[in-house]
Structure 1
Amino acid sequence: MLKLATGCLLLCAATFGAADYAHAQARAERVQFAKGASAKTISDSLKGDQSVDHVVGARGGQQLTVALDSSNTSTYFNVLPPGSETALFVGSTSGNQFTGTLPASGDYRVRVYLMRNVARRNESTDYKLRIGVTGGAATATTIQPSAKGKPISAGNRPAYCRGEAAGQYGTRPAYIKTLAPMKAASGAIIIDGTVDKGSEGIKKFRCRFDAQGLFIDVMALTPDGE
């Protein structure tokens, strides 16, 4: 069953670190849609430290959707922008389904991989990856993710952020530190922070609120493998 999460890109977002695995160079496969089609389902497999880049060309402003189903629950994908190894979406922290509006034109890579712990055991996975690209040219410079709940007052947002991050990382708010809230160009409010995961190290994250103070999500800035 697909593990669901929705990822949306913000131009104001800080860049992610390296992918959550220590793998050999990815094998690249160009995604070609059939005439008149805007989506394709790909069946493939990998083993151990192998990874596969499914390369899809798209224009800025188009919407990219990706869904992954696999035989090994430690199979994930990241979305990498044109010419960069800095992931826009990290599956190991955000799930195995992504929907986002692309900020620029070029070749995007959907990188499928096994998490480091199972890769070291040389496990394998068979997977199906559905990739779709829809929409026209960009008409706006920012993307507004879906918010939820009730507006959080300005003074309570840092504490609310720590509580949400604690739930996501499976720890107590006492092990989480946050910086002062910042206002993005879109009007959204962002709060960056860190969580002390003990032997796993310090993880960076970002809490996002919309312009009305509605909580959006906790966005991991440090992948699980670092």
Structure 2
Amino acid sequence: MKRIMPLILATAVALGTQGAAAADKVTTLPVQFAKGMQSFSTSHTLLGYDSVNYTLDAKAEQSMRVSLSGSSNVGFNIYAPGDIPGVATALGSGSQGQDWNGILPASGTYTVQVYQVRAAARRGAQAAYAITFAIH
């Protein structure tokens, strides 16, 4: 019996972890600027640990600005081309009222990951936001 209990406990923990991870939804949305435009705005709603990865192409030395409004429970991280959210270190970050401005270090596809802060996500809260991307 002593040998079986650790195995049962390990199995229960593994199954519980798989269930939580499987419920998280990551949506990837490409950002397309209209011809002649330098900015793009959109809105979305997050639920729990769900996140949205916006992808946009830019060139080295361009200036990018990311602005977020709406729920104070929403934040964002910016990843350089080739970097993967959750694995790589973010190039920058921001939240409602804390825009990110920067000169881009490389040409390629940037990812802007939008997510809920942990406390709100853990409660399964819903959070609406609007985000604007500008590249000059």
TM-score normalised according to structure 2 size: 0.75
AA at the equivalent of 2:60: G
Shift of 1:63: 0.5
Tell me the equivalent position of 1:182. none
Aligned equivalent of 1:102, options 97, 101, 104: 104
Q: 1:101 to 1:57 in 2, by over 3 A?
A: same
- Cα distance between partner residues in 2 of 1:44 and 1:121: 19
> Contact (CA 8 Å) 1:57, 1:107: kept in 2 or not?
yes
Matched ranges for 1:26-105 at <5 A: 26-70=26-70, 72-84=71-83, 85-91=88-94, 96-105=98-107
| Amino acid of the structure 1 residue aligned with 2:128 | D
**Greater than 4 Å deviation, 4+ residue runs:** none
Q: Structure 2: which amino acid aligns with 1:101?
A: I
Q: Is the 8 A contact 2:93 2:100 kept in 1?
A: no
Letter in 2 for 1:82: P
User: What secondary structure does 1:118 align onto?
Assistant: helix
Amino acid at match of 1:96: Q
Equivalent in the alignment of 1:211: none
Q: How does 1:3-22 map to 2 (within 5 A)?
A: none
CA contact (8 A) 1:41 1:131 kept: yes
Output the CA distance in 1 between the equivalents of 2:59 and 2:24. Answer: 29
CA RMSD, aligned part only?
2.0
SS in 2 for 1:36: coil
Q: SS of 2:121's equivalent?
A: helix
Matched with 1:126 is 128
| CA contact 1:42–1:130 (8 Å) conserved in 2 | yes
CA distance in 2, matches of 1:32, 1:80: 18
Percent identity of equivalent pairs = 37
Amino acid in the other structure paired with 1:132: A
Unaligned runs of 5+ in 1: 1-21, 135-226
Contact 1:78-1:87 within 8 A present in 2 as well: yes
Higher relative contact order (CA 8 A, sep 6+): 2
Report the Cα distance in structure 1 between the residues aligned to 2:26 and 2:81, rounded to whole angstroms: 15
Alpha-carbon distance between aligned partners in 1 of 2:126 and 2:98, rounded to the nearest angstrom: 17
* Cα separation, 1, equivalents of 2:91 and 2:25: 19
Judge conservation of contact 1:49–1:122 (CA < 8 Å) in 2.
Answer: yes
Conserved? CA contact 1:77–1:96, under 8 Å: no
Per the normalisation by structure 1, the TM-score is 0.46
Amino acid at match of 1:42: T
| Structure that is richer in strand per residue | 2
Letter in 2 for 1:79: I
For structure 2, the 5+ residue unaligned runs are 1-20
Q: Is the 8 A contact 2:69 2:97 kept in 1?
A: no
Instruction: State the shift of 1:95 in Å.
Output: 6.0
